[in-house]
Amino acid sequence: MLNTKLILIDGITGSGKSTTAQFLAKQLKKNGVKSKWYHETQTDHPLEYEEDVEVFDSQADMDKFLETIPKLWRQFVEQVSQSDEVHIIESFLLQDTVRLLFQNNLEEERIIGFVQEIEDIIRPLNPALIYFHQQDANRSIRMIWKRRGDDWKKWFIDSDIQTPYVKSSGLVGEVGAIKLWSDYQNFTNQLFDIYQFKKISIENSASKWDEYYQKILDFLDLNLVVENRDLTLEEMKRYCGDYKEQEGKLECSIKLLNGNLVCNLIWPDIRILPVENEDDSLFYLESFPVFIKFKENEEGYIKSLSLSGKRKNLDGKELEKIHAVNN
């Protein structure tokens, strides 16, 4: 494998960062390499800023961010240096740091200085960057809106149009949000060229994921190990139905879609996949650090599911099956 202790995955929202990170974590394990994947939104993320911020209220708040993020990276590098694992970080090189500075209209020269500071900090880990980009950001953003549903789309646009970048453009609504992400991607394309560590850039608009994954594995000098736990249609039908928390608001539906088990736990139609080399009742949520354990009643029918993992507001939840769904 490539000599690195840090794999970075970045690109605009919906570009496949989390799915790729999860894929790589599994492939590293299959190749006998110890690894740790940090999902962007997981609990206790070592690089998470102390507050969820999209717009800085003052210059002092921005300065605090610029001071804190390098400190978090230094602490992380110190910890990783003592570890025998390869660490996979998604989004925190660019999307969750540089994007905030960009959309708050920080001068590009200062952003580049910040970027180079982070590069210097992580250099001892011999980082390797996987960078996704799309030729048509407008098309890509609209596709992700469609895939993740109207509620997520509204949240996304409402958040973006409040940023200084969109407000100063004079644009509103969908057009303003798309301009932000399109211009941001143009800027990160330039940053990619500046980085001096090992890196690969993949234009993934065609969604040819088998091809992209092979390029990534070649870049990391890893062998592809194919998964082999497949479920029959009848087996998958057992899990389909509506599930609801007895004392809480959480609920989800599981159904078959194009031959796959999918659910709407976070947004519509997220695939549920079986965990290999485990009991038949254990599954994981694609793109998220969430495991689903199905439980049977005495007659062998699925009666409930329990959730575990590092997804905020999901770990430890148990949902009862309230009725089956025929597919």
CATH of the domain at 287: 2.40.128.50
Specify the pLDDT at position 104: 98
Calculate mean pLDDT across residues 4-29.
Answer: 97
Query: What is the band of 277 on the pLDDT scale with cuts at 50, 70, 90?
Result: confident
Considering the domain architecture, whether residues 40 and 179 belong to the same structural domain is answered as yes
What confidence tens digit (pLDDT) does each residue in 99-122 have? 999 999 999 999 999 999 999 999
Calculate mean pLDDT across residues 209-230.
Answer: 93
The larger pLDDT score, comparing residue 226 to residue 272, is at: 272
In a domain, 1, yes or no: no
Residues 176/161, Cβ–Cβ less than 8 Å: yes
Structural domain that includes position 26: 6-220
Specify the pLDDT at position 278: 67
In a domain, 225, yes or no: no
Specify the pLDDT at position 183: 98
Task: Look over the chain and give the mean of its residue pLDDT values, rounded to a whole number.
Answer: 95
Range with lowest mean pLDDT among 23-27, 143-147, 288-292, 311-315: 311-315
Structure tokens at 98: 């540089």
* Among 220, 250, 273, residue at a domain's last position: 220
Q: What residues does 10 pair with on adjacent strands? A: 131
Calculate mean pLDDT across residues 165-170.
Answer: 97
Give Cα 165 distance to the centre of its chain: 24
Residues 125/197, Cβ–Cβ less than 8 Å: no
Considering the domain architecture, whether residues 81 and 183 belong to the same structural domain is answered as yes
In a domain, 19, yes or no: yes
Calculate mean pLDDT across residues 168-185.
Answer: 97
Considering the domain architecture, whether residues 188 and 263 belong to the same structural domain is answered as no
Considering the domain architecture, whether residues 268 and 192 belong to the same structural domain is answered as no
pTM of the prediction? 0.95
CATH code of the domain covering residue 129: 3.40.50.300
Residue 147 has pLDDT above 70, yes or no: yes
- Sheet containing 86-90: give its strands across: 35-38, 86-90, 6-10, 128-133, 198-203
What confidence tens digit (pLDDT) does each residue in 221-261 have? 999 998 767 889 999 999 999 999 998 899 999 999 999 99
Number of domains in the chain: 2
